[in-house]
Amino acid sequence: MQTRFTELLGCRLPIQLAGMGWVACPELAAAVAGAGGAGTVAPHLLPAPALEPMLDELTARAAGPIGFNVLIPFLDLDAVEVAAARLRYVEFFYGDPDPALVARVHRHGALAGWQVGSVGEAVAAEQAGCEFVIAQGVEAGGHVRGSTALLPLLDAVLDAVTVPVVAAGGIATARGLAAVLAAGADAARIGTRFLATQEADVHPDYQAAVLAANPEDTELTEAFSVMWPNAPHRVLRSSIAAARAASGETVGTVNLGDTEMPVPRLGPMAPIRATSGNIAAMPLFAGHGVGAVREVRPAAEIVREFADGAARLLRPQRNRERVLR
């Protein structure tokens, strides 16, 4: 399943792990990369001195390309430097494409990507020097940049840029992967399906809620806006109700290394294994594809299922194209 994306990054399959904060931990990223996709880590707010050994260990054992996800509202230039010097790519999200940031990544020999929610933002990312863009539809879980459904956005972005385009938003099955590849995408960016993996750093209660949810159980909201205002995000609707019903300024704590941090009520951090407290009242990010997630499995099995299933679905189309030619 070779595409411009796989050729650019040096992976075997057009599958990219979404940057999902601390949930997208090194173990999950390494598993996806080892299975043939592109792994992504997103340890937001981790300072550069602590990031260095984490990435050194990850690159020593990862058997495929790994990238680093950067949220512009929490931009740490030192962390960008550390990641760009060690990983295959650095991708940015939730801010206007910045040629200076892209150049900083390139100076260390890494590729640069930008996740976008509009055609204008995609064009700006290409003009800023990005080697690839991620077109995120409104179906996506987590923070959402635009307001357009994935397929119309993908169609418009493919017409507007020449760099490889990754499709993101609601893709949780092999059929979804096949659909976006058939539509012209160079890869699919998958998040919600990887929440239900053995490697993901997800609190068991969060994982259980994902397994029980249906597509209509998600909502695009700005409810979890403490620390990050005016940033729409898609979560399980139950977490909004639980957070609003909770009392006090915090709903729990999380241990990040040797540091215990409070989890503010209506804050943006999803619960990981090291989180304790009122888990149901924390942001349980999930996209429209959540209804397809029904069991916890190793990440490598999920990657193979996506790839094999999409290949079977696309094979008749490729045969028809040969006949037409």
C-alpha to C-alpha distances, 206 to 135, 225, 315, nearest whole angstrom = 26, 19, 37
Q: What is the mean pLDDT of residues 284-306?
A: 98
Residue type, 321: E
Residue 236 falls within a domain, yes or no? yes
Is 50 exceeded by the pLDDT of residue 324? Answer: no
Q: What pLDDT, on a 0 to 100 scale, did the predictor assign at position 318? A: 54
**pTM, full prediction:** 0.95
Residue whose token pair is 């260390």: 108
Q: Are residues 76 and 128 in the same domain?
A: yes
Q: Are residues 33 and 83 in the same domain?
A: yes
Residue whose token pair is 């019903």: 245
Residue whose token pair is 């540091």: 259
Query: Quick one: pLDDT band at residue 258, thresholds 50, 70, 90?
Result: confident
C-alpha to C-alpha distances, 96 to 102, 160, 234, nearest whole angstrom = 12, 17, 21
Residue 144 falls within a domain, yes or no? yes
Q: What pLDDT, on a 0 to 100 scale, did the predictor assign at position 119? A: 98
The angle formed by the CA atoms of residues 29, 187 and 300, to the nearest 5 degrees, is 35
Q: What pLDDT, on a 0 to 100 scale, did the predictor assign at position 257? A: 73
Q: Give DSSP secondary structure letters for 64-111.
A: S-EEEEEEGGG--HHHHHHHHTTSSEEEEESS---HHHHHHHHHTT-E
Residue 139 falls within a domain, yes or no? yes
Is 90 exceeded by the pLDDT of residue 317? Answer: no
Residue 260 falls within a domain, yes or no? yes
Q: Are residues 32 and 180 in the same domain?
A: yes
Is 80 exceeded by the pLDDT of residue 320? Answer: no
**Rounded to the nearest 10 degrees, what angle do helices 150-160 and 119-127 cross at?**
40
Domain count for the chain, please give it. 2
Q: What pLDDT, on a 0 to 100 scale, did the predictor assign at position 325? A: 41
Q: Are residues 50 and 164 in the same domain?
A: yes
Query: Quick one: pLDDT band at residue 209, thresholds 50, 70, 90?
Result: very high
Q: Give the span between the Cα atoms of 234 and 258, in whole angstroms.
A: 30
CB atoms within 10 A of CB 63: 12
Q: For 74-132, how does the pLDDT look when each residue is reduced to its tens digit (9 = 90+)?
A: 999 999 999 999 999 999 999 999 999 999 999 999 999 999 999 999 999 999 999 99
> Percent of the chain beyond pLDDT 90?
94
Q: Give the span between the Cα atoms of 16 and 179, in whole angstroms.
A: 16
Residue 1 falls within a domain, yes or no? no
User: Of 53, 105, 67, nearest to 84 (Cα)?
Assistant: 105
Residue type, 13: L
Q: For 34-69, how does the pLDDT look when each residue is reduced to its tens digit (9 = 90+)?
A: 999 999 999 998 999 999 999 999 999 999 999 999
Residue 3 contacts by C-beta under 8 Å, 6 or more apart in sequence? 14, 164, 181, 186, 187
Is 90 exceeded by the pLDDT of residue 11? Answer: yes
Map residue 150 onto helix, strand or coil.
Answer: helix
Q: Are residues 78 and 209 in the same domain?
A: no
Q: Are residues 178 and 219 in the same domain?
A: no
Q: Are residues 107 and 147 in the same domain?
A: yes
Residue 188 falls within a domain, yes or no? yes
Q: Are residues 181 and 259 in the same domain?
A: no
Q: Are residues 271 and 170 in the same domain?
A: no
Residue 77 falls within a domain, yes or no? yes
Q: For 174-188, how does the pLDDT look when each residue is reduced to its tens digit (9 = 90+)?
A: 999 999 999 999 999
Q: Give the span between the Cα atoms of 305 and 288, in whole angstroms.
A: 19
Q: Are residues 191 and 77 in the same domain?
A: yes
Least reliable range by pLDDT among 192-196, 221-225, 236-240, 320-324: 320-324
Residue 216: which domain range?
Answer: 204-289
CATH for 157: 3.20.20.70
CB 280 within 8 A of CB 209: yes
Q: Are residues 89 and 107 in the same domain?
A: yes
Residue 65 falls within a domain, yes or no? yes
Q: Are residues 66 and 187 in the same domain?
A: yes
CB atoms within 10 A of CB 312: 11
Residue type, 188: A
**Rounded to the nearest 10 degrees, what angle do helices 299-324 and 174-182 cross at?**
40
